[in-house]
């Protein structure tokens, strides 16, 4: 095996691992671990899910807002199989399939779920400490359940934190 081929395999493994660590951190609500997978700025496009326009944000701000949207879920599970990766030096493009499950208790005590299937187009950059994501574009293929779970999660998070203070 050539050194170039071996480097390609190592890079591919590290790139895939970065995406898996991102989704794991999201599910565990481990915000510092999530931040460690991102470059300092992030080109986001979640327009197919939320209708928000594409924007470039500071990753610290993106991660800082995550608990307010995701912190009220009882549980989430983000699965990211089928990584197709193209590496060009210190940058990479990938498509990662996505299956995301979200559950939150509604104000009436009834559990609400939402399942989303699709893919992410992701741009990666090699940094001094490893590969990090610089762009996330979500593509939505299928949704089922109550999409209002994101609002319910945000309300539950706010209520829990208001009660703690």
Confidence of residue 2 (pLDDT cuts 50, 70, 90): confident
For position 42, what pLDDT does the model report? 98
For position 32, what pLDDT does the model report? 98
For position 107, what pLDDT does the model report? 85
Q: What is the mean pLDDT of residues 124-151?
A: 97
Residues forming a β-bridge with 124: 92, 133
Which one-letter DSSP state was computed for residue 52?
P
- pLDDT (tens digit per residue) in 63-80: 999 999 999 999 999 999
CATH of the domain at 42: 3.10.450.50
Q: What is the mean pLDDT of residues 82-86?
A: 97
Q: Whole-angstrom Cα distance, residue 114 to residue 93?
A: 28
Q: What is the mean pLDDT of residues 21-28?
A: 98
Pick from 150, 153, 163: which is nearest to 71 by CA? 153
Cα 132 from chain centroid (whole Å): 12
Three-state secondary-structure class, residue 154: helix
- pLDDT (tens digit per residue) in 93-102: 999 999 999 9
For position 164, what pLDDT does the model report? 74
Expressed as residue numbers, the domain containing 79 is 3-164
Q: How many domains does the chain have?
A: 1
For position 162, what pLDDT does the model report? 85
Q: How far is CA 158 from CA 48, 55, 71, 89, in A?
A: 26, 25, 9, 44
pLDDT at residue 165 is higher than 90: no
Q: How far is CA 35 from CA 59, 73, 79, 94, 141, in A?
A: 7, 19, 18, 19, 27
For position 106, what pLDDT does the model report? 87
For position 151, what pLDDT does the model report? 95
Q: What mean pLDDT value characterizes the chain? A: 95
Torsion angle of the four alpha carbons 44, 64, 52, 57, in this order, in degrees rounded to the nearest 10: -40
Share of the chain above pLDDT 70, in %: 99
Pick from 115, 79, 77, 72: which is nearest to 96 by CA? 79
């Amino acid at each position: 095996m050539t050194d170039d081929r071996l480097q390609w395999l190592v890079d591919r493994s590290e790139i895939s691992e970065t995406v898996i660590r991102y989704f794991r951190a999201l599910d565990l609500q481990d915000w510092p671990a999530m931040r460690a997978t991102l470059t300092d700025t992030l080109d986001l496009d979640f327009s197919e899910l939320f209708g928000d326009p594409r924007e470039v944000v500071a990753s610290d701000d993106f991660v800082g807002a995550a608990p307010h949207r995701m912190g009220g879920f009882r549980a989430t599970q983000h699965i990211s199989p089928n990584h197709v990766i193209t590496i060009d030096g210190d940058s990479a493009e990938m498509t990662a399939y996505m299956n995301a499950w979200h559950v939150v208790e509604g104000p009436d005590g009834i559990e609400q779920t939402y399942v989303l299937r699709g893919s992410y187009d992701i741009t990666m950059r090699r940094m001094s400490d490893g590969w990090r994501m610089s762009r996330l574009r979500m593509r939505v293929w299928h949704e089922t359940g109550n999409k209002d779970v994101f609002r319910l999660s945000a309300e539950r998070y706010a209520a829990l934190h208001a009660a703690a203070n």
